[in-house]
Amino acid sequence: MDKKLTVLDRVTLPTPRFFRKVRTIGAALAAVGSILATAPVALPAVVVALGGYLVLAGSVAAAVSSVAVDPDTTPVQVDGRTAAEVREIVERGDAASL
């Protein structure tokens, strides 16, 4: 794959199945970590620290796996626009029409 993809291309291209699972697991870890870190009851400091680490690890895993793309697919969105057409609309400043 010699073509450099922009962030918009990476967002519009489909995510492979493995990375969708990683994104879901990462979001779940971040949710559990935020519950532990902001619990209204007094928890030991180790549990609160563990919650912070879970939030960090889950959010990084979800963010990185969200921009993973399958290089063999053509960039077409649900409405029929290609990623190049969407990029042109955004560059024109007419993103409200998306």
The answer to whether residue 1 scores a pLDDT higher than 60 is no
Tell me how far apart the alpha carbons of residues 65 and 46 are, in angstroms, rounded to a whole number.
28
97 is written with which tokens? 């029409």
Give, for 26, the enclosing helix (H) or strand (E): helix 17-37
Q: pLDDT band at residue 25, thresholds of 50, 70 and 90?
A: very high
**Could you tell me the sign of the dihedral formed by the alpha carbons of 68, 69, 71, 72, in that order?**
positive
Query: How crowded is the C-beta side of 27, counted as CA atoms within 13 Å?
Result: 8
Span 70-74, average pLDDT: 69
- Predicted confidence at residue 58, as pLDDT, reads 95
